[in-house]
């Protein structure tokens, strides 16, 4: 008879990274990551180990998406500044 | 990604240098005045504040030990930092000393509470009325 052993520890929920990207970064994708972190914990509790692992992967992916978008945004922003375009663009477009 | 315990030494030193470099940027340059620091894309596009708005000014304030400045720029900055430090230090302590303290980040309701707090914060800090207006960055 096949038996699935209970793994010793839950898969990482990446909640720390979700919080980092949500509060210390600038884009709200980290919230998606928090949602998946919640799923890791709740699925682990009801002994859905595969589901918990899957949620763990998603939590990781979305933390990276949030981080990546922020970095990409910053690189674009820096490029615009270096091109001397940003100043005029932001002041004109948004009346800063 | 879950812990830094198994990173190669070179990478650790590299990470440390990057963090130290960014920290000194934030110490010497005021995000309020410098164009070098990115504006929040979310804020630029929508005009609303996201949960992360004000964090750069909060880092600047924190490095100058201006705690009221940290709180007024982003109310969740300090609590968030404490949770992050806890989430990094506790597993490291467990590993290092071979103990097994429970990690409250893995309790069932913790992420949901954090989610509720973050979303509430995002909504409330955009309300123009006192006392919610205090939650907007810089007030």
A10-46 per-position pLDDT tens digit: 889 999 888 888 887 766 788 899 999 999 999 999 9
Q: Answer whether residue A59 is part of any domain.
A: yes
Per CB-CB distance under 8 Å, the chain A contacts of B1 are 12, 14, 17, 60
**What is the per-residue pLDDT across B66-120, written as a single tens digit (0 to 9) for each?**
999 999 999 999 999 999 999 999 999 999 999 989 999 999 899 999 999 999 9
> pTM for this one?
0.78
Per CB-CB distance under 8 Å, the chain B contacts of A41 are 106-111
In terms of residue numbers, what domain contains A28?
Answer: 15-90
Cis peptide before B94 (omega within 30 of 0): no
Chain A interface with B: residues with Cβ < 8 Å: 10, 12-20, 22-28, 30-31, 34-35, 37-38, 40-42, 44-45, 60, 73-74, 77-78, 81, 86-87, 90, 94
Q: Answer whether residue A23 is part of any domain.
A: yes
Q: Answer whether residue A52 is part of any domain.
A: yes
Interface A-B, measured as beta-carbon pairs within 8 A, has a size of: 104
Say yes or no for a CB contact (<8 Å) between A86 and B41.
no
Please provide the distance, in angstroms rounded to a whole number, between the alpha carbons at the two ends of chain A: 70
Domain tally, chain B: 1
Residues B29 and B36 sit within 8 Å (Cβ to Cβ): yes
Q: Answer whether residue A6 is part of any domain.
A: no
Instruction: Please state the separation of Cα B40 from the chain's center in Å.
Output: 14
Domain tally, chain A: 1
Both tokens of B98, joined, read: 């071979």
């Amino acid at each position: 008879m096949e038996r699935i052993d209970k793994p010793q520890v839950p898969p990482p929920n990446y909640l720390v990274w979700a919080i980092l990207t949500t509060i210390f970064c600038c884009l709200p994708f980290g919230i998606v990551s928090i949602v998946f972190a919640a799923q890791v914990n709740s699925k682990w509790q009801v002994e859905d180990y595969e589901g918990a692992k899957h949620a763990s992967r998603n939590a990781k992916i979305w933390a990276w998406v949030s981080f990546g978008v922020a970095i990409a945004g910053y690189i674009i922003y820096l490029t615009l500044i270096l091109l001397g375009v940003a100043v005029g663009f932001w002041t004109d477009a948004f009346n800063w | 990604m879950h812990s830094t315990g198994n990173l190669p030494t070179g990478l650790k030193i590299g990470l440390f240098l990057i963090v130290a470099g960014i920290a000194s940027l934030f110490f010497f340059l005021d995000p309020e005045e410098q164009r070098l620091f990115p504006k929040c894309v979310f804020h630029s596009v929508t005009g609303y504040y996201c949960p992360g708005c004000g964090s750069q000014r909060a880092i600047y304030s924190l490095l100058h030990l201006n705690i009221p400045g940290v709180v007024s720029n982003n109310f969740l900055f300090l609590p968030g930092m404490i949770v992050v430090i806890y989430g990094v230090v506790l597993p490291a302590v467990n590993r290092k000393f071979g103990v097994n303290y429970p990690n409250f980040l893995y309790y069932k309701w913790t992420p949901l509470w954090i989610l509720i707090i973050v979303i509430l914060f995002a909504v409330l800090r955009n309300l123009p009325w006192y006392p919610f207006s205090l939650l907007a960055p810089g007030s």
